[in-house]
Amino acid sequence: MESNGTGFRRYVRSLRAQTLAVGRRARRQLLWAGPLLALIVVLYLLRGELVGSDQPFRLVAAAAFAITGWVFARSLGHALEPQLAHRVDPGAAGVIGFMIRLVALAVIAFATVRIAGLDPSTLVLGASLTAIILGLAAQQTVGNILAGFVLVATHPFRVGERVRFSGFGMDVEGTIAAHGLLHLTMTDGDDTVRIPNTTALTMSIRPLRQPMSVDMRARLPAGVDPQAIQAQVEGSISVPTRDPPHVSLEEFDGYEIVVRIRATPERSEHGARLAGDVLAAVTALRQNAGSKASVGAPSG
């Protein structure tokens, strides 16, 4: 459990640091892109007084406005992500930042068309055909983006929550570390697992809100009574548990027995302490069994 938590915290810290660094660069770009965009608009509005020919100036202004506007829209979304990350998780902040960039780019595109003096209906038709072609060529990417929006809107799980995804003949379990535009990122110990949003949306989702339980197999000498194991474990546990600890016999080969010990704490933060108590109980049983064997052994 400590390993899972450490891996999750380390990944989230790294993601927040990356978001802050990108946000700082984006704010620096906004310092020149915003004024330059405003200057282009002022020059366009005063074109009649500055130049005699209208159409060539329109095309030059439209091209400059489109390039600067693209930088401005991209920087605007990235600059807002650090502020969004204080209210939502960094992954969801990235999705919201993408939506901001998309809307800003749509506004820039419409304004560029107006500056160039083109017919908006012609552009809409061309954009629709282009969107259809690109959508067919990148169905998986577009599907992941749409599935990401659905997961952000419905939020079936929270960042920091341990979740099990089941489906397609497999189970994937881990702690949700980030919700990105194309995939979910989970940590499982020191491992990082990424699941495409479309896959996560079609699989069954089970948040594991129950505290991590202790499920241990212990090998003990054959002379140890299972009832003594039960009593020793119950007497060693120092945290409240949901149910009494359960001890079951699994193997016996004439010399040793293998028992399974299960216990679940009432509070998740007591999981490590409960595991230590159970381990101490098993260690004491082995020591007691070893002492009795030494006492009962015939002297040489």
Question: Phi/psi at 85 (nearest 5 deg)?
Answer: -65, -20
For residues 265 and 225, membership in a common domain is answered with: yes
For residues 119 and 197, membership in a common domain is answered with: no
Asked whether residue 68 is domain-assigned, the answer is yes
For residues 26 and 133, membership in a common domain is answered with: yes
For residues 127 and 111, membership in a common domain is answered with: yes
- At 131 the pLDDT is 59
- At 46 the pLDDT is 78
For residues 171 and 222, membership in a common domain is answered with: no
Tell me which of 109, 137, 165 is where a domain ends. Answer: 137
For residues 24 and 132, membership in a common domain is answered with: yes
Per-residue pLDDT at 254 exceeds 70: yes
State what percent of residues in the chain have pLDDT above 70.
75
pLDDT band, residue 296 (cuts 50/70/90) = very low
> Token digits for 265?
């704490």
pLDDT band, residue 119 (cuts 50/70/90) = low
Tell me which of 137, 161, 178 is where a domain ends. Answer: 137
Asked whether residue 7 is domain-assigned, the answer is no
Asked whether residue 52 is domain-assigned, the answer is yes
Q: Domain limits at 43?
A: 20-137
Asked whether residue 31 is domain-assigned, the answer is yes
- At 196 the pLDDT is 84
- At 15 the pLDDT is 66
Angstrom distance (rounded) from CA 228 to CA 221: 12
Per-residue pLDDT at 247 exceeds 80: yes
pLDDT band, residue 294 (cuts 50/70/90) = very low
Report the side by side order of strands in the sheet with 170-179.
Answer: 191-196, 183-188, 170-179, 162-167, 204-207
Asked whether residue 12 is domain-assigned, the answer is no
Asked whether residue 13 is domain-assigned, the answer is no
Q: What's the pLDDT tens digit per position in 191-208?
A: 778 888 888 888 888 777
For residues 237 and 271, membership in a common domain is answered with: yes
Per-residue pLDDT at 266 exceeds 50: yes
Q: What's the pLDDT tens digit per position in 4-14?
A: 556 666 766 77
- At 135 the pLDDT is 54
Tell me which of 106, 137, 168 is where a domain ends. Answer: 137
Mean pLDDT to the nearest integer, 1-30: 69
For residues 173 and 257, membership in a common domain is answered with: no
For residues 61 and 98, membership in a common domain is answered with: yes
For residues 173 and 129, membership in a common domain is answered with: no
For residues 175 and 233, membership in a common domain is answered with: no
When divided into structural domains, the chain yields a total of: 3
Asked whether residue 15 is domain-assigned, the answer is no
Asked whether residue 110 is domain-assigned, the answer is yes
- The CATH number of residue 244's host domain is 3.30.70
Tell which residue, 66, 83, 64, has the closest CA to residue 23.
83
For residues 195 and 219, membership in a common domain is answered with: no
